[in-house]
Amino acid sequence: MHPAFSVIFLTTLIGVGQGLFLALYTGQLYALANLLPAQSSNFYAVGSMVSLVLLFAGLIASFFHLGHPERAWRAATQWRTSWLSREVLALPAAMGLIFLYGTVHFFDLTKPLFVISGTLPVDFSLIIGGLGTLAVFGLFLCTAMIYASLRFIKAWYSPLTVANFLFLGIGSGFMLAAAFSAYQGTSLVSFYGTWAVIATLFGLLTRVATLYRNSQFRCKVDLKSAVGVHHSQLEQKAQGFMGGSFNTREFFHGRSQGLLNLIRYAFLLMVFVVPVILILLAYALESETLPLLAFGIQYLGLILERYHFFTEAQHPQNLYYQSMA
Amino acid sequence: MTQLALVIDLNVCVGCHACVTSCKEWNTSGWAGPLTDQRPYDADPTGVFFNRVQTYEAGVFPNTETYHFPKSCLHCEDPPCVPVCPTGASYKREDNGVVLVDYDKCIGCKYCSWACPYGVREFDEQQKVMKKCTLCIDRITDMSLPESERKPACVLACPTRARIYGDIHDPDSDVSVAIREQGGYPLQPEWGTKPSNHYLPRRKTRIQIHEDELVRVDNPLKKEALPTLPEAGETLDDVAW
């Protein structure tokens, strides 16, 4: 497939935004259980705003993918059958809940509403955060299923696609949370850093498994089945045109194998290896800037990762556009 | 239920592209139009077509055979492009099974084209919507036309009658009979999309005939050659009564 930069930015940006929100809420839950020091409401409010900005940037990026962005509202109608439509609903739902979560913290509306078993004070932020977490996981699922539900594109048609989107989103989000808390000077850097490393390593596992899987399989159909001529020597002589078409532009990445190998090694280094080393270094050196660098490198790596994700996909329609004599 | 479809006979298609040009002519000026072109008279021309004719070669020279392969939307009975559409712009008509795009609802996200394994949807770069073969829906449903013209433009244009049009759910229709009797097959059946359009394979019409069958041994009316008297002279068998 031809990599679409609008979609690359959409998926990576909202992944980070969702992960950051999960990080904030996880931090709040840990603080509630007295496992971590409680943070100022400002920390959560600003963090939510950063998450919201990332999600909004992703939303803006997605509009560049559309031929008619002014009709985008229509995309909410077919949620019964289309994962894309479900994403269109889940994204604003998650944004709305994250906005409410930030607002509740900003205005300090965190007086306990009631107390469960005398130990667990429940306030607005806890409830809204819980709903937001559900929405965020739902959004991860919808985004990934857009690709994982296309049964013809075998490179994507796998639960590994969902796992990759989930772990890479959470990993990069927690990485940003570590950078954010380092910037704010809070004591949560090692907490967020540890979870960022764990999620990133899970992502490494699923992403490498995906790469291995995609290097092994063969397409279910071949040219014989595509044309219906079951001859052992079947070769295309003409495509029906000489100047290219939508079919030759949209479904071919047109990059050399050498470049793709380079991109693959680059993203494996930038998403998985370098950030983990940097965050460990930051822990050792108690550095405030290294987590930010770790996140920046990981995000650039994620762009390459998503680019590679598109180039991995071999569309069966390409069988009809193999050669031109 | 009616399922309109084309059956394309690869045995007689000569690859003249008349179906391509007539399709473009009809549809660019009709309900589905315009089918826009970019740089049509320049280097690297490109544009929207609903129908393309490709050419394949089987075998190794000199024992080769050329296949001209017209390729358009197959109007699947279970079209994978329809449920993925987020706006409902892609739909399959209930009454005749034709898969269509509502250009006023399409947001141009191209997701349907990703979901089609046959690559028969084409994005219009100028109108920014997805387009595809309509089976000339404005023509086949136009009751003001005489019935003989209520057919897709490509079918009417084909000089070798390689394209047959009809309802594949009606067992007595031309298309059903052709599929049944001439080995009609769908493309990429592995996916289970149940394409409605079928293709008829190359057919060899050879008869087994031996040398001795070319000369009639029994030739009572002496039609083919002057009777030659055998060495032994005329017998009763040689006399025509």
ipTM value: 0.91
Whether B201 and A83 lie within 8 Å, measured CB to CB: no
Which chain B residue is nearest to residue A251, measuring alpha carbons? B114
Stretch B117-142: mean pLDDT: 95
Q: Is the pLDDT of residue A62 over 70?
A: yes
Q: Which of A43-52, A210-219, B76-85 has the lowest mean pLDDT?
A: A210-219
- CB within 8 Å: B105 and A229: no
A229 contacts B58? CB cut-off 8 A: yes
* Probe site for chain B from A152, A156, A222, A253 (most B CB atoms < 10 A): A152
Nearest to B128 among A68, A153, A229 (CB): A68
**B213 is a domain residue:** no
- Which CATH number characterizes residue B73's domain? 3.30.70.20
Distance, CA of B134 to CA of A36 (rounded, Å): 63
Token pair in block for residue B198: 């079928």
Given a cut of 90, whether residue B229 has pLDDT beyond it is no
Taking contacts as CB-CB distances below 8 angstroms, the residues of chain A near B67 are 227, 229
Closest among A173, A160, A197, A319 to A247, alpha carbons compared: A319
pLDDT of residue B174: 95
Determine the pLDDT at residue B240: 65
Higher pLDDT, B212 or A321: A321
CA–CA distance, B109 with B65 (Å, rounded to integer): 40
Q: Which residues of A touch B60 (CB under 8 A)?
A: 233
* Structural domains counted in chain B: 1
User: What is the pLDDT, as a whole number, of residue B216?
Assistant: 67
* Closest Cβ–Cβ partner in A65, A68, A244 for B106: A68
Alpha-carbon gap, residue A21 to A6, rounded angstroms? 22
A84, A225, A251 member nearest B84 (Cβ): A84
| Residue B45 contacts residue B152 (beta carbons within 8 Å) | no
Tens of pLDDT along A265-323?
Answer: 999 999 999 999 999 998 888 888 899 999 999 999 999 999 999 999 999 999 999 88
Whether residue B141 is contained in a domain is answered as yes
B77 alpha-carbon distance from chain centroid: 17
Give the best residue of A2, A233, A320, A323 to mutate against chain B (max B CB count within 10 A): A320
Instruction: Indicate whether B227 pLDDT > 60.
Output: no
Answer whether residue B216 is part of any domain. Answer: no
pLDDT of residue A119: 79
Answer whether A74 sits within 8 Å of B128, measured CB to CB.
no
Nearest by CB to A237, from B57, B83, B108: name it. B57
Calpha distance A105→A112 (Å, rounded):
13
Give the distance from residue B147's alpha carbon to the nearest chain A alpha carbon, in angstroms: 31
Q: Is A64 left (phi over 0), alpha (psi -120 to 50) or beta?
A: alpha
Is residue B91 less than 8 Å (CB to CB) from chain A? no
Answer whether B117 sits within 8 Å of A1, measured CB to CB. no
What pLDDT was estimated at residue A325? 58
pLDDT of residue B223: 65
Least confident of A109-118, A267-276, A292-301, B142-151: A109-118
How open is the CA angle A67-A77-A87, to the nearest 5 degrees?
A: 75
DSSP 8-class letter at A4? P
The answer to whether residue B181 neighbours chain A at the CB level (below 8 Å) is no
In a domain, B177, yes or no: yes
Instruction: From B187, B214, B216, B212, select the one nearest B199 (Cα to Cα).
Output: B187
Q: How high is the pLDDT of residue A219?
A: 81
Residue B221 lies in a domain: no
Return the exposure string of B148-174: e unless at least 16 CB atoms fall within 10 Å of the residue's CB, then b: eebbbbbbbbbeeebbbbbbbbeeebe
Instruction: Say how far apart CA A280 and CA B11 lie, in whole Å.
Output: 68
Q: Does B105 touch chain A (CB under 8 A)?
A: yes
pLDDT given for residue A288 in this prediction: 84
Report the residue of A317, A319, A323, A324 to disrupt the B interface, i.e. the one with the largest count of B CBs within 10 Å: A317
Question: Is A4 within 8 Å of B114 (Cβ atoms)?
Answer: no
Structure tokens at A251: 């479904």
**A141-145, A191-195, A295-299, A321-325: which has the minimum mean pLDDT?**
A321-325
Are the beta carbons of A221 and B188 separated by less than 8 Å? yes
Structural domain boundaries, residue B61 = 4-200
Contacts of B9 (CB under 8 A, 6+ apart): B160, B161, B162, B163, B164, B178, B182, B199, B200
In which band, very low, low, confident or very high, does the pLDDT at B233 lie, cut at 50, 70 and 90? low
